């Protein structure tokens, strides 16, 4: 009887641990149209960076399999993917560890940054909630144009994902528009007008 009780207890604990899935807890869907959902993501990042929002308001939007962070619009499978638990665990440390996010265009140097610095340099490098052109991309009509191949629609097929681009065309006239940047929010379909955050892609002029 004791052995049976212990076995049942073990199976209960095992099933409880396995219920979270490979990527963590199931996210609460972001409700609304794709544009409304993307605006929710953008607002959560703005508030986090501005100090008026909480980290969980941002990470609660993460897809269960995590968010792929791509420093350029040519997305590769090796781009870093972080789950809600991964991101929060590093962000909350006093000295977050450096992570390899990819390589810099042109120099080829590694992009070694902690999660806070990456967010500042390759996500919220511009106030994308204001003075930007916003569009939903379903074909090769991206506003981000450089010399890299934009493979986002291949990597994130429209049948399963929606990409919303926030584009600023440049702020310094001396650069003749070459200082443009973009933030592309990749949403994964979870149902009718229900989404999760699957990717954050940065766009800028490349050489």
Q: List, for residues 20-32, the tens digit of each pLDDT value.
A: 334 446 678 999 9
- Residue entry with tokens 């340099």: 121
Q: List, for residues 162-179, the tens digit of each pLDDT value.
A: 999 999 987 777 766 677
Query: Lowest-confidence range among 5-19, 49-63, 65-79, 165-179?
Result: 5-19
Q: Tally the domains of the chain.
A: 1
Across the chain, mean pLDDT equals 86
Q: What is the pLDDT of residue 147?
A: 79
Cα 201-202-207 angle, rounded to 5 deg: 130
Is 16 a domain residue?
no
Q: What is the rounded distance in angstroms from the CA atom of residue 163 to the CA atom of residue 137? A: 6
Q: What is the rounded distance in angstroms from the CA atom of residue 132 to the CA atom of residue 35? A: 14
Is 163 strand, coil or helix? strand
Q: What is the pLDDT of residue 57?
A: 97
Per-residue tokens: 43? 């607002």
Q: What is the rounded distance in angstroms from the CA atom of residue 22 to the CA atom of residue 53? A: 28
Domain that holds residue 171: 30-204
Q: What is the rounded distance in angstroms from the CA atom of residue 78 to the CA atom of residue 174? A: 35
Angle, helix 34-50 to helix 115-122, in steps of 10 degrees: 120
End-to-end CA gap in the chain: 71
Q: What is the pLDDT of residue 11?
A: 35
Is 5 a domain residue?
no
CB 103 within 8 A of CB 109: yes
Is 130 a domain residue?
yes
Is 176 a domain residue?
yes
- Residue entry with tokens 């990717």: 199
Is 22 a domain residue?
no
Is 9 a domain residue?
no
Q: What share of the chain in percent tops pLDDT 70?
A: 84
Q: List, for residues 109-160, the tens digit of each pLDDT value.
A: 999 999 999 999 999 999 999 978 898 888 777 887 777 889 999 999 999 9
Q: What is the pLDDT of residue 116?
A: 97
Q: What is the rounded distance in angstroms from the CA atom of residue 23 to the CA atom of residue 10? A: 23
Query: DSSP readout, 57-123?
Result: HHHTTB-TT-EEEESSSS--TTSEEE-HHHHHHHHTSSSPPPEEEEE-TTT--EEEE-HHHHHHHHT
Q: What is the rounded distance in angstroms from the CA atom of residue 57 to the CA atom of residue 46? A: 11
Is 13 a domain residue?
no
Is 71 a domain residue?
yes
């Amino acid at each position: 009887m004791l052995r049976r009780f212990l076995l049942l207890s073990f199976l209960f604990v095992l099933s409880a641990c396995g219920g979270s899935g490979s990527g963590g807890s199931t996210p609460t869907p972001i409700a609304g149209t794709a544009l409304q959902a993307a605006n929710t993501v953008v607002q959560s990042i703005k508030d986090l960076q501005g100090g008026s929002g909480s980290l969980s308001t941002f990470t609660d939007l993460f897809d269960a399999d995590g968010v792929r962070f791509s420093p350029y619009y040519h997305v590769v499978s090796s781009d870093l993917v972080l789950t809600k638990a991964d991101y929060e665990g590093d962000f909350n440390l006093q000295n977050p560890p450096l992570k390899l996010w990819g390589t810099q265009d042109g120099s080829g140097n590694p992009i070694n940054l902690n999660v806070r610095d990456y967010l500042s340099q390759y996500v919220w490098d511009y106030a994308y909630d204001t003075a930007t052109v916003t569009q939903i991309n379903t074909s090769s009509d991206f506003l981000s144009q450089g010399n890299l191949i934009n493979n986002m629609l291949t990597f994130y097929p429209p049948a399963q994902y929606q990409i919303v681009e926030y584009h600023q065309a440049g702020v310094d006239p001396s650069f003749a528009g070459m200082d443009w940047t973009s933030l592309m929010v990749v949403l994964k379909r979870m149902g009718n007008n229900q989404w999760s955050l699957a990717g954050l892609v940065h766009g800028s002029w490349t050489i």
